[in-house]
Amino acid sequence: MKQKTLKSARLVLEDGSEYAGWSFGRPRSQAGEVVFTTGMAGYPQSLTDPSFRGQILVSTYPLVGNYGVPLKPKTGEPFLDSQGIPVHFESPMVQVSGFVVAEACEEPSHFASGATLSAWLDKNNVPGIWGIDTRALTERLREHGVMRGKILVEGSRDVTMDSGIAANPVADVSHPEIVTYTPLAAGIAGGKGAAKNADKDPLLKIALIDCGAKANILRCLLARNVEVMRLPWNHDLKGIEYDGLFLSNGPGDPKACGRTIAMVRRAFDLKKPIFGICLGNQIMALAAGGDTYKLPYGHRGQNQPCVEAGTSRCYITSQNHGYAVRGETLPKGWEPWFINANDNTIEGIRSTRHPFSAVQFHPEGCPGPRDTEFLIDRFLEQVRENRK
């Protein structure tokens, strides 16, 4: 990485270990929970994913920033579609507390690049550190589990380990007001099979509980000719007309979302189809009477193998979660749906009686893979059948 003036920086973990490197992005100190991702590409999407809120993200891939950041060349602002949805990002802003890489490229080569990674992080007030042996760091995190840490930049004020940790980060990333999106104004391209029923089916109304929803959830739903009502994480469903309920991803401990859990529990009584993703999977399990727990170091990356229960079919999935469902706590009428082939954690649950299901991975994965995007189509088919 080439810079006129280099500032030294350190990554300090709560176990006392330190990693020396160089500062890029905003030259400020910042604390957070240190986690790693195995993705080889897609750093603009990962860094803007609300599920990473309050975390210092470590990239195991050795070169980051080589294709820059897709921003408007004159203003440096993100591209938005006609409804204000980011085109290339998962939210309008960088959500991580810090970024740790082996090498940050300062001379990107891509036709859509509007800024370097360092300049983009600086604009978003987010520090980065490069020159770190991220493979060795990842091994430590795998051995000792996720730890709190802080990036300390030369000449900046020190911070405490817990200064970047919010009790309920969902409240910080959920949209505070109701927003309705209509498919005709979306102006976006969908995935495989998107909008295939656009001409013959009446418009479906999906209520999206926003616990930190990725933009690609909106894109995928709108591309399938449905109207999406985006609701704050703690909004009551009373008086809301909808055909199906969608529970989004989000950051933090699912048990901090007590109001969302209670809301979903009441929604069960209506018997309308419900589908959850990531945090939505954990919230559905808690609403059903199950339990969740924190994983030692979480699943974050684009290469997690998941096997559908009762079959030998394995899917490669995109994941970003630090908590999981305890399968043995699922009550009668519920069962595991997907299992992680690496460590046998529960990666999806479903009701055996009603159209309620959820997955821990991201069918709308952006960056991909999107091998399981058909699950969104399956959910919408349930909604159509239930409305007949």
- 88 contact partners, CB below 8 Å, separation of at least 6: 44, 45, 70, 78, 79, 112
- Rounded CA-CA distance 56/21 in Å is 15
- Of 227, 347, 364, 373, the catalytic one is 364
**Element holding 283 (H helix, E strand):** helix 279-288
Looking at the DSSP bridge assignments, the partners of residue 19 are: 11
User: Taking the chain, what is the end-to-end CA distance rounded to the nearest angstrom?
Assistant: 59
**Pairing relation of β-strands 346-351 and 334-340?**
antiparallel
Q: Judge whether 278 counts as a catalytic residue.
A: yes
- Of 227, 362, 366, 373, the catalytic one is 362
Query: Based on the number of CB atoms within 10 Å of its own CB, is 262 exposed (0-12), middle (13-18) or buried (19 or more)?
Result: middle
Is there a contact between 234 and 260 (Cβ–Cβ < 8 Å)? yes
Distance of CA 356 to the CA centre of its chain: 21
- Rounded CA-CA distance 261/256 in Å is 9
Going from the C-alpha of 255 to that of each of 194, 252, 292, 293, 364, the distances in angstroms are: 34, 9, 8, 10, 24
- Of 105, 220, 278, 306, the catalytic one is 278
Q: Which residues are catalytic?
A: 278, 362, 364
